[in-house]
Amino acid sequence: MCFGVLHCKKEAKVATKKEVYPSELSKVFEKHGGINAWRKAQTLSFNKGEEVHTADLHSRKTVINSPEYSLGFDGTAIWLDEEKEADFKGNKDFYYNLYFYFYAMPFVLADDGIIYEKVDDLIFENLHYSGYKISYNSDKGTSPDDNYMVYFNPKTFQMEWLAYTVTFKSKKPSEKYN
């Protein structure tokens, strides 16, 4: 209770994120540097050829700069530099975060709106890799029907395999994993 400005104490409220991913995946995140370290990071930047990709890890605002074009996501819309629009060969809506997902693995598998399903082990050269199917709630992203299969070494928890579907153009679920 507060009886005057000088006698009030502000109570600090600490927001705690309730983790909803399987405990095995928390071990995968830890093996790759830890989910807390990932969440404290501010940006991810990498080069793909002459392209420089930069993403704000909290807002997911993104910019891709190349000598031929610039495109990005401003938090609301995906944009393409109009002066160089003819130089971009592709679909900006599909491309702007395509490589981000691969570079940000496995940590993007802790995003909100993910559905986790334990899958049978992947067996390769007599080694068994534990795995999860990753799917999304229908209100997530531009391709919520995309799925990922992440497989990890069950002893070391190192992520070793990733398979994914692409449904951006068709907008239909697919069982064809790349």
**Residue 7 backbone class (left: φ over 0; alpha: ψ -120 to 50; beta: rest):** alpha
Q: Which residue has the tokens 């997902």?
A: 101
Per-residue pLDDT tens digits for 67-119: 989 999 999 999 998 666 667 888 888 889 889 989 999 999 999 889 999 99
Per-residue pLDDT tens digits for 140-165: 555 557 788 999 999 999 999 999 88
Task: Indicate whether 3 pLDDT > 50.
Answer: no
Better-scored residue on pLDDT, 176 or 59: 59
Per-residue pLDDT tens digits for 30-75: 999 999 999 999 999 999 999 999 999 999 999 999 998 999 999 9
| pLDDT for 32 | 97
Task: Indicate whether 2 pLDDT > 50.
Answer: no
Quickly count: other Cβ atoms within 10 Å of residue 155's Cβ: 9
Q: Which of the residue ranges 9-13, 33-37, 171-175 has the most confident prediction, judged by mean pLDDT?
A: 33-37
Tell me which long-range contacts 15-21 makes (C-beta under 8 A, separation of at least 24).
Answer: 19/110, 20/114, 20/116, 21/109, 21/110, 21/114, 21/116
Q: Which helix H or strand E contains 135, and what residues bound it?
A: strand 127-136
Is the pTM higher than 0.95? The answer reads no
Q: What average pLDDT does this structure show over 112-136?
A: 94
| pLDDT for 4 | 43
Residues in the chain: 178
Determine the Cα–Cα distance for residues 108 and 141; give it in Å rounded to an integer.
13
Task: Indicate whether 22 pLDDT > 50.
Answer: yes
